[in-house]
Structure 1
Amino acid sequence: MANAKPLHDAMDEISDTVGEQAFRKIRGDIVSGDLKPGQKLKLEHLKSKYGVSVSTLREILNRLTTEDLVVAEGQRGFEVSPASVDNLREVGDLRLVLENHALALSFAAGDLDWEADVVAAHHKLSSIEKALLAGDANRTFEWIKYDFAFHHALISACGSKSLLAIHQSIFDRFMRYHLLAASFRGDGVSEDHKELFRLALERDVAGAQAKLAQHIHSGIDHILSTGRL
């Protein structure tokens, strides 16, 4: 028993684990649209739904305000950040700046293992996109997962954990709008990914950055065309 941790330390670890699980669940429910833009986040309801204390919920919601996924209303509590055309465009611009920079770093440093990761990520994404194009709309949430995995693979050799973490946060905020639009863009997005894949293997930074800009702007246009904002 000499190596046993003090009870309070063990309880803190359990609490941290539960808190992190709740954080990921609430964050995921906001990104997916299960918690809707502008929805009031009532602590007693969330306590029951996510199984954590009110104090833990306050910490989680304050943490989510730093990602602009939640808005703090002073004494009135919290609500899910609203969705707007201006915010969509702002998030798209932020994603482009971050991802373009990370692409340049990653293409320069990427080794054979990096190439293998890119190949694997594109294969998985392409398989899901083929299913969606064939009419299997149930794969949309799965597509979101593999879409991120592919874009992450492209920039994974950038050498900066901070850049990757910030990019993931912005990417999720951008994907939130895709999920609110509830519409897959179709052949265009699949062709964009094929071209980004080819340019990555050729280490064509300028070409990939130009394609990424087109890819993101086309995504914004598609979201707006659905009329759901």
Structure 2
Amino acid sequence: MKTTASAPAAARTLAKRAYQRLRRDIVHGQWPPGGKLKLEALVQHYEIGMSPLREALARLVGDQLVKTEDQRGFWVSPLSLEELDDISRVRNLIETEALRLSIERGDEAWEARVRETYDALNEVEGEVLGRGEAAPQELLDAWEDRNRQFHYALVSACDSPWLIKLQELLYHQAERYRRVSLSASRGKRFVQDEHQAIFEATLERNALRACRLTHDHLMRTYDEVRKTVAALDAGQKDAS
């Protein structure tokens, strides 16, 4: 028999799981930008109750991945060039500052995390980025997950919970846009070399070089993503 203490814990676990699954599906584009999230359909799709679903949606509103209006329901946040510009600018500020502090404060355990996540990323990156045809979705997902872990490891020793939280939030926001343009940009950059240069400068404790390389890496990604999003936006306007 469940105790009174275990019931709230189980509810929190369900809500957390629903939040993680919904966030992943929104970021991956399964629920399209601007689309309405119908609660009854979500309950059936994720096989969860209404209470954990609403809690998950409330967290996603806080992450700016979902929008809501009083008594009118929930929508996936739309994509826009203005938001992309803002996300990219702020993410660059946050990530380079967190990296600078991590290089200053990081210990041997931090170096080991950076090395481990870089090696894991490097395993799949060449295969994903070197393909002329579209890579299988599972391979793209593996690359995206390892890319996120590498960027997180780089800043994980900054000793600032707020910087870490903002870095994670901005990473997921940027990922929504990056996935839109991933197929268009693959193979046109030496992303693997960029990651290697950041990795080497970081372990050399050369904060100035590592931060500059990270800034340039993020800006190159932003430039490619913006071109693709702008082209898609123009195509949609022409079609209407």
**TM-score, L = length of structure 2:** 0.87
**Equivalences for residues 116-131 of structure 1 within 5 A:** 116-131=112-127
Contact 1:125 1:150 in 2 (8 A): yes
Contact 1:40 1:80 in 2 (8 A): yes
Q: CA deviation at 1:9?
A: 2.3
Instruction: Identify which of 27, 30, 35 aligns with 1:31.
Output: 27
Q: Which residue pairs with 2:236 in the alignment?
A: none
Q: CA deviation at 1:142?
A: 1.0
Q: CA deviation at 1:45?
A: 0.8
Contact 2:102 2:154 in 1 (8 A): yes
User: Pairwise CA RMSD of aligned residues?
Assistant: 1.8
Task: Give, in whole Å, the separation in 2 of the partners of 1:44 and 1:27.
Answer: 18
- What SS class does the counterpart of residue 190 from structure 2 fall into? helix
Task: Give, in whole Å, the separation in 1 of the partners of 2:48 and 2:113.
Answer: 37
Q: Which residue pairs with 1:53 in the alignment?
A: 49
User: Counterpart of 1:111 in structure 2: which amino acid?
Assistant: D
Contact 1:185 1:222 in 2 (8 A): no
Q: Which residue pairs with 2:77 in the alignment?
A: 81
% identical aligned pairs: 34
Structure 2 residue runs without a partner (length 5+): 234-240
Structure 1 residue runs without a partner (length 5+): none
Q: Which stretch has the larger CA shift, 56-65 or 120-129?
A: 56-65
- What SS class does the counterpart of residue 140 from structure 2 fall into? helix
Q: CA deviation at 1:39?
A: 0.8
Q: Which residue pairs with 1:191 in the alignment?
A: 193
Instruction: Identify which of 200, 210, 213 aligns with 2:212.
Output: 210
User: Counterpart of 1:216 in structure 2: which amino acid?
Assistant: L
- What SS class does the counterpart of residue 36 from structure 1 fall into? coil
Task: Give, in whole Å, the separation in 2 of the partners of 1:43 and 1:195.
Answer: 46
Contact 1:181 1:228 in 2 (8 A): no
Q: Which runs of 4+ in 1 moved over 6 A?
A: none
Q: Which residue pairs with 1:137 in the alignment?
A: 135
Task: Give, in whole Å, the separation in 1 of the partners of 2:129 and 2:93.
Answer: 30
User: Counterpart of 2:214 in structure 1: which amino acid?
Assistant: L
Equivalenced residue count is 225
